[in-house]
C-alpha cells in the first residue's frame, strides 16, 4: 500500500477529482481529511469511504476563510499527529460557478474576487497552514491543481481564471524553494478538459478527447509517491497536447 499511514488533506474533496483522489489514497492506506464548502457532502463522502474500510473524516472548509483552513490543519494534527500530503483541488471558473457569463470588462468585482480567492488565495492559505508542520517533519508533498487555461490564457470570461491558475505555478515554485532544504516537495498539475462534466468533451485537444478524471488523479498520486521523490517545483501539463498550440 503506497500511502500506508500517510495523512492527506484534500480541498474540494466532496466531488469530482478531489473525491476520486480521496478514495484512491484511502484504498492505498492513507488517512484523509476531506474538506469542502459543502459540509453535508464532505461528511457523506467520508462516511462512504469509512464504510468501505478507509480512514477518513469530512470537514466544512471555505478556502477563502483562513480560520477555517487553519482549523482543518489543526484537526488533522489532533487526530492523526502529522500532515504528509496537501492536495489543493478546490476551484472553478467563477463565471460558470456563479452563473455570471459576462466578459471580463463587465464582470462584477465580487465575482472577480470570488475567483481569485477560491482559485489562488485558497491554495496560498492551505500552503501557509501546513508548511510549518511539513518542515518540522522534514517531509511532505503539496500538489496544486492548475489548468491549461493558466498556460494558454483565456479571453472573454476566462481572464480572471487564467490569472489565478497561472499564479499557482509561481506559488508551487516558491513553496518548492521554501521546502527543499527540509525534504518538502511541491508540484503543480495543469489539466486540459476533464470529463468531470459533459461539456468538457467539446474542448479540443490534439488527442481528440478529454481526459478521464482517473488519468489526472493517477498523475497526481504518482507525484505524491516516493517514486517521484526527486521531483519538485515543476508544472505538469496533462492536456492531450492542447498546449502544443494551434487549437481553434
Would you kindly state where each structural domain of the chain is located, as residue ranges? 7-240
pLDDT tens digits for range 201-210 = 888 999 999 9
- Residue 223: per-residue pLDDT: 98
Nearest to 152 by CA among 125, 122, 191: 191
Q: Which one from 161, 182, 222, 236 is the annotated catalytic residue?
A: 161
Q: The C-alpha cell of 157 is what?
A: 470570461
DSSP secondary structure code for residue 206 in this structure:
T
pLDDT digits (tens, 9 = 90+) for 123-174: 999 999 999 999 999 999 999 999 999 999 988 889 999 999 999 999 999 9
Predicted local confidence at residue 247, as pLDDT? 65
**pLDDT mean by block of 10 residues, the chain; 248 residues:** 95 98 98 98 98 98 98 98 98 94 94 97 98 98 97 90 98 98 98 91 92 98 98 98 80
**Active-site residue flag, 66:** no
Q: Which architecture, in CATH terms, is 7-240? A: 3-Layer(aba) Sandwich (3.40)
Amino acid at each position: 500500500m503506497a500511502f500506508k499511514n500517510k495523512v492527506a488533506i484534500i480541498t474540494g474533496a466532496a466531488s469530482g477529482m478531489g473525491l476520486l483522489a480521496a478514495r484512491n489514497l484511502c484504498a492505498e492506506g492513507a488517512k484523509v481529511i476531506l474538506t469542502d464548502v459543502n459540509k453535508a457532502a464532505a461528511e457523506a463522502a467520508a462516511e462512504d469511504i469509512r464504510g468501505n474500510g478507509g480512514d477518513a473524516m469530512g470537514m466544512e472548509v471555505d478556502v477563502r476563510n483562513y480560520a477555517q483552513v487553519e482549523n482543518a490543519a489543526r484537526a488533522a494534527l489532533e487526530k492523526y499527529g502529522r500532515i504528509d500530503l496537501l492536495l489543493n483541488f478546490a476551484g472553478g471558473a467563477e463565471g460558470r460557478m456563479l452563473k455570471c457569463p459576462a466578459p471580463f470588462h463587465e464582470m462584477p468585482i465580487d465575482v472577480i474576487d470570488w475567483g481569485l480567492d477560491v482559485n489562488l488565495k485558497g491554495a496560498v492559505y492551505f500552503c501557509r497552514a501546513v508548511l510549518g508542520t511539513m518542515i518540522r517533519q522534514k517531509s511532505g508533498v503539496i500538489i496544486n491543481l492548475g489548468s491549461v487555461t493558466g498556460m494558454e490564457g483565456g479571453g472573454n470570461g476566462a481572464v480572471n481564471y487564467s490569472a489565478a491558475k497561472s499564479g499557482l505555478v509561481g506559488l508551487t515554485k516558491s513553496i518548492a524553494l521554501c521546502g527543499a532544504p527540509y525534504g518538502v516537495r511541491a508540484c503543480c498539475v495543469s489539466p486540459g478538459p476533464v470529463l468531470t462534466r459533459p461539456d468538457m468533451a467539446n474542448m479540443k485537444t490534439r488527442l481528440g478527447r478529454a481526459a478521464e478524471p482517473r488519468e489526472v488523479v493517477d498523475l497526481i498520486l504518482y507525484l505524491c509517491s516516493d517514486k517521484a521523490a526527486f521531483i519538485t517545483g515543476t508544472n505538469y501539463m496533462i492536456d492531450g497536447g492542447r498546449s502544443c498550440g494551434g487549437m481553434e
